[in-house]
Structure 1
Amino acid sequence: MSSRTDSEAAAAADTPHERPRWRRAVANTGLQVLAAACAAAVFGVLAPDAGAELKPLADAFIALVRLTIPPIVFLVVVTGIVSVGGMKTAGRIALKAVVYFEIVTTIGTLLGMAVINLVRPGDGVAPPAGASGDLDAYVEGAKDESISEFLLGLVPHNAVGAFAEGDIIQVLVFAILFAVALLQLPKAKSAPVLRGCGILADVFFRVIALVIRLAPVGVFGAVSYTVGAYGPEALTALMKYVGLALATLLVFLTLVLGTVTRVAGVSLVRLIRGLRPELVIVLGTSSSEAVMPHLMARLEQFGCKRDIVGLVVPTGYSFNLDGVAVTVPMSAVFIAQVYGVDLGLTDQITLFLVFLFLSKGTAGVTGSAFVTLANLIAAVNFIPVAGLALILSVERFLSLMRAVTNVLGNAVAAVAVARWEPDGIDRERFAETIARHRTPRR
């Protein structure tokens, strides 16, 4: 009781004049985006010609997003690789955790891509006549490229050129080389560089946070243009996609995480009940990182050892964001379907492999899924970047679903690794909290 009073007093001290609820709602970017999307949809239906002329608003917003992509990719990949390299001292636990993360997120990614290709909610939206020129800019570079040309294109001619031209694949290769070299330096020399990269990453994520404040303007232009030029079919496709993403995440939770918990001797339903306070916070903030300290403390209460929780959960926030793994590749393929870009098997494999690299390191940052999607589309270079604004119009709904899945995925990972480790869990406390109860036979 006293701790709650103290925290409330501290919060009151930080915000002496709390704004009314309606003002907080108006200031919420997610609600602003939702309102802008609804207003733009009505405007596009009532005045399609005028709506089709608002494309520059969306283009300007996307240009601001693309401005931050190369440095963000470089910084998060470097910090992610170097941080993982430091976990080698943890030995067996780290190996189990990383292998588990990669297997589960790979399954989630493949599940999402299989579902979006099977159902194809973006089909049936006929691109307007003026869109063909824009599409050529994305598709042309991937039409007649041989394997040797593709491999040579991975190597940047110089580091500055890769950033200046916005070639994300080349930036990624340079970041990997830089991180490996940094790992080979003595810690006394590498630590300041790593710390500097972390600080710069924070700066650029703050820049992207400032840009996201303009999202309502960009979404209004994008949705007005899409509805005015493409017709109301685009809105139907978006609603189908949101429903499909929700259904896919539910399948992932039931089949994949459900199987892991059964093998580990855990009741998934009881685990969800035990994490209700954290999940409520996630639903209120649309952010999985907002509950990371609470999640670690809760898992210790369930009986997981502190050293395992302290290793697995932070690593999971970089390697095991299951909601991101399922929905981000789905969003990329959905954009291609809406814009009429036919992704062949090679394109789909490239999308899958590039995502596995780019999804590491952006975790734990608000809006990381959208940043990862932007990085992914910019890297593969055969999906229209303009489609980002279309996804942003429903990002609020996707973010809620992803965040809940992310928290549950990391909780399951920590419990599973602790369960499979010798003395990794307090069995009595575990049995009283989330273990499967078996009624003894008489």
Structure 2
Amino acid sequence: MRLIKSLYFQIICAVILGVLVGHLWAQQAVALKPLGDAFIKLIKMMIAPVVFCTIVTGIAGMTDKRSLGRLMSKTLLLFLVLTVISLVIGLVAVYLFKPGVGMNIDPSTLSTEGLSQYTASAAKLSVVDFFMHIIPDTFIGAFSKGEVLPVLFIAVLSGFALSALGDKGRPVLDVLESASQMVFKIFGYLMRFAPVGAFGALAFTVGQYGITSLGSLAKLIMTLYIACAFFVLVVLGSLCRLHGFSLWKLLRYFREEFLVVLGTSSTEPVLPRMLEKLQALGCKKGVVGLVLPTGYSFNLDGTAIYLSLAAVFIAQACNIDLTVGQTLTMLAIMLLSSKGAAGVTGSGFVALASTLTVIHDIPLAGLALLIGIDRFMSEARALTSLASNAVATVVISLSEGACDRQTLQRALNGTPAPAPEPAAQWTQDTPPHRN
């Protein structure tokens, strides 16, 4: 009975049922798309208030404000290193397995139907536009679209302002702390619909694209999953060992969140729950509130692996040999485009289109080879990025001394917290203390 009530068990059943319904009743399964869309929309509704309350209360509660600059510098440096490693892993994987070799595709024969929405979004991406997008049109406007970066920007400003006000800002801080508890409670209610959302999203995906569509490009999909698994197990695993905790136990701790991401192909629905559970690991609210939302925009390692792998795959399929110089230029552009696509629907595909639009060495029409299977590949991207951000948040917290190791190990091992010692009581045999 306890197993049936477990959210983890319910999501597993929903995922399996979604695949079966999508495969056996494809036409009816496509009509279930609103279930997945509605769940994602419900959760995205809560992202802005959760991020705002968490960051403001976290920064206002930090006693050493000078450490904030060091924290952000360390965070962005780690994200940069992880992104570079991800791009290189994708590159090595595609040259090692050669999934596109032998396809002998003529780019002029490829249909570009359905690519316009991605190329239009890609054309709008630039470094300047990306940073301008961080600044919202109005203070309230940052909440209207539910995007992380504008909310992060005004939350940091608000946190510093409340901290500077001292006791005068205490009433506002108390309200935000109460509001934070309220939004997390609402989010807890909404997460009960996670199995329904995962079922609808996965049934639609399998019904729309079909399991059989994986056959022709199975080698490419397999290469991506192998590259992502290598990044998680070797790179992230090494990072965890260096900082004294188990990657496997951390992944197990977030198993429900990974299943939701698997079903929805998006990391956004689990952001509020990730914030809550990372704090339960012993990480301080201020550090978690800054590192995790920043990682959602600047640490898309799954997307980075996909970018270098998919671009070279298209070149292989079209019999295009890239020089070392062309490859290095491509990686440099991808380092920027993987950040600029944050918050854009189909971010991995849009970032790839943005890269191909700039370098011209690989035909843009080659995207047509990937559009039919992108949904299946997006799951690997999302899962890898979520794992990377979870590990990065714990690592940064530990390096800043902002994570209690005993609480971390206890939570990862699944052992309950020790009960507080009972207060000493005076008895007739114990004389009262006298000064």
TM-score range normalised by the length of the shorter chain: 0.5 to 0.7
Tell me: CA distance 1:100–1:28, structure 2 relative to 1, closer, same or farther (3 Å): farther
Tell me: CA distance 1:246–1:174, structure 2 relative to 1, closer, same or farther (3 Å): closer
Contact 2:107–2:366, Cα closer than 8 Å, also in 1: no
Give the Cα–Cα distance (whole angstroms) in 2 for the partners of residues 292 and 200 of structure 1: 16
| Of 340-349 and 297-306, the range deviating more from structure 2 | 340-349
Pairing partner for 2:337 from 355, 358, 368 = 358
Pairing partner for 1:90 from 68, 72, 87 = 68
TM-score, length basis structure 2: 0.60
Contact 2:122–2:351, Cα closer than 8 Å, also in 1: no
* Residue segments in structure 1 that go unaligned for 5+ positions in a row: 6-20, 31-86, 135-164, 184-189, 203-214, 224-233, 438-442
Pairing partner for 1:317 from 296, 301, 304 = 296
1:172 correspondence with 2:126: yes
Contact 2:224–2:306, Cα closer than 8 Å, also in 1: yes
Match in the other structure for 1:158 = none
Tell me: CA distance 1:170–1:312, structure 2 relative to 1, closer, same or farther (3 Å): closer
Match in the other structure for 2:375 = 396
Match in the other structure for 1:429 = 407
Pairing partner for 1:272 from 245, 251, 256 = 251
Match in the other structure for 1:263 = 242
Spell out the pairing of 1:96-115 with structure 2 (5 A cutoff).
Answer: 96-115=74-93
Contact 1:167–1:379, Cα closer than 8 Å, also in 2: no
Give the Cα–Cα distance (whole angstroms) in 2 for the partners of residues 346 and 167 of structure 1: 27
Secondary structure of residue in 1 paired with 2:364: coil
Contact 2:243–2:395, Cα closer than 8 Å, also in 1: yes
Per-residue deviation at 1:127? 2.9
TM-score, length basis structure 1: 0.59
Match in the other structure for 1:412 = 391
Give the Cα–Cα distance (whole angstroms) in 2 for the partners of residues 88 and 168 of structure 1: 38
Spell out the pairing of 1:181-260 with structure 2 (5 A cutoff).
Answer: 192=137, 236=216, 238-260=217-239
Match in the other structure for 1:345 = 324
Contact 1:219–1:393, Cα closer than 8 Å, also in 2: yes
Secondary structure of residue in 2 paired with 1:386: helix
Tell me: CA distance 1:110–1:88, structure 2 relative to 1, closer, same or farther (3 Å): farther
Give the Cα–Cα distance (whole angstroms) in 1 for the partners of residues 406 and 28 of structure 2: 45
Query: Given residue 31 of structure 2, which amino acid in structure 1 is its aligned partner?
Result: A
Pairing partner for 2:265 from 278, 282, 286 = 286
**1:307-344 Cα shifts (integer Å, max 9, x gaps):** 01000000000111111111122111111111222211
CA RMSD of superposed structures (Å): 4.3
Tell me: CA distance 1:168–1:260, structure 2 relative to 1, closer, same or farther (3 Å): same
Indicate the percent of aligned positions where both proteins have the same amino acid.
35
* Residue segments in structure 2 that go unaligned for 5+ positions in a row: 6-20, 35-64, 113-118, 148-204, 416-435
Number of paired residues?
303
| Of 382-391 and 98-107, the range deviating more from structure 2 | 382-391
Contact 1:351–1:376, Cα closer than 8 Å, also in 2: yes
Give the Cα–Cα distance (whole angstroms) in 2 for the partners of residues 273 and 95 of structure 1: 29
Tell me: CA distance 1:388–1:312, structure 2 relative to 1, closer, same or farther (3 Å): same
Query: Given residue 29 of structure 2, which amino acid in structure 1 is its aligned partner?
Result: A
**1:124-147 Cα shifts (integer Å, max 9, x gaps):** 112359659x9xxxxxxxxxxxxx
Query: Given residue 429 of structure 1, which amino acid in structure 2 is its aligned partner?
Result: T
Contact 1:265–1:436, Cα closer than 8 Å, also in 2: no
Per-residue deviation at 1:346? 1.5
1:27 correspondence with 2:31: yes
